[in-house]
Amino acid sequence: MVARRHHYVPKCYLKSFSLNNGRNKKFQLLVFDAASKKRFVTASENVALERDFNTIDLDGHPPDAFENAMASVESEISSAVAHIVETKSLASENDRTLLLNLIGLLHVRNPRLREITRSFRERVAQRILDIALSSREMWDSQMKKAKNAGAMAQDADTDYDKMKKSYSPANYKIEIPSEEHVRSEMDTFNHALPFLFERKWVLVKAPEDSPGFVTCDHPVSLTWSEPQFGRIPLGLRTKGTEIFFPISPNLAVVGAFELENGEADFNDEQVASSNGTTILNAHRQVYAGRDDFRYQIDQKQKPQPASALITDKKFTRSA
């Protein structure tokens, strides 16, 4: 049977944030949902997923070929993440390599970026149609070219008046096949991964007695190290930027070109500020293993309790 519920945030990663440290038979998470403005507990297998997210339609390959390939990769990543959590160290080169691969995959493969890509193509297509329909001469010329190029059947109905009357941008939506998304994402991943390895990484630790870090459905946060007032593009290769990525409630990593590899202990205020960064980067949901964490979105205000999150407009507007 072909599985169609595909996780874009691996369950093996979310396991580290599960309630009771994963001792339950099914790993459960405390979920804060910005769209519904509700919080609830559910199994990790029920979050951060989309139907057919990894499904491909390619000759000679089953539709779940890429999903199965990702499962194999995630199995290796799972062991590395578990070892990092257990040892509280990035000393293992293999663990570090697999962790950076996880960060790279999460950064380039998610519904937010897919929708940005889709909506951009849709706007381009709408603009092209607007131009083509600007006059009968323009329309007939473009339809003739399309038929001669084999992009359209010779007997296709291309009546200008019918199209002009029926066309409305609201009636059309561009869809991109998932295999095209997958191909583009893997190309981007291969291009982006070296920039992750060029960064220096600091393993940061939350206080032993604190609720620690939270995570979300878009857990790789890329931010400026210092406030920027120009128009420099924010990217993985941009100097003066930091990547924050929570590994577990007790551990996270910070990656920047200007740092040195090492470790650091965060106090409660730094943990709360980091949680604010993760929350602002969420696509829709925030996940935690405890209900007493704190977060700080506005640096001018005191850290807020977890109970305030589902009514926090800075979080709920992200949906």
- Residue 23 belongs to some domain of the structure: yes
- Residue 135 belongs to some domain of the structure: no
d(CA 283, CA 8) in angstroms, rounded, equals 12
Q: Give the pair of three-digit tokens for residue 152.
A: 């359209």
| Residue span of the structural domain in which 78 resides | 5-114+176-316
- Residue 160 belongs to some domain of the structure: no
d(CA 252, CA 310) in angstroms, rounded, equals 24
- Residue 139 belongs to some domain of the structure: no
Instruction: Characterise 139 by phi-psi region: left (phi > 0), alpha (psi -120 to 50), beta (else).
Output: alpha
What stretches of the chain show up as alpha helix (H) in DSSP? 11-14, 65-87, 93-108, 111-132, 136-148, 160-166, 178-198, 268-281, 313-316
Residue 267: band (very low, low, confident or very high) from pLDDT cuts 50, 70, 90: very high
- Residue 63 belongs to some domain of the structure: yes
Direct distance between the N- and C-terminal alpha carbons of the chain, in angstroms, rounded to an integer: 33
The per-residue pLDDT of the chain, averaged, comes to: 91
- Residue 197 belongs to some domain of the structure: yes
Q: Taking the model in full, what pTM does it have?
A: 0.89
Q: Give the pair of three-digit tokens for residue 42.
A: 């559910």
- Residue 308 belongs to some domain of the structure: yes
Residue 23: band (very low, low, confident or very high) from pLDDT cuts 50, 70, 90: low
User: How many domains does one find in the chain?
Assistant: 1
Residue 22 has pLDDT above 50, yes or no: no
User: Dihedral of CA 223/229/234/237: which sign?
Assistant: negative
Residue 194 has pLDDT above 70, yes or no: yes
Residue 20: band (very low, low, confident or very high) from pLDDT cuts 50, 70, 90: low
- Give kind and range of the element (H or E) at residue 285: strand 285-288
- Residue 279 belongs to some domain of the structure: yes
For residue range 113-171, what is the model confidence (pLDDT) as tens digits? Answer: 999 999 999 899 889 888 888 899 998 898 899 889 988 899 888 889 988 888 887 77
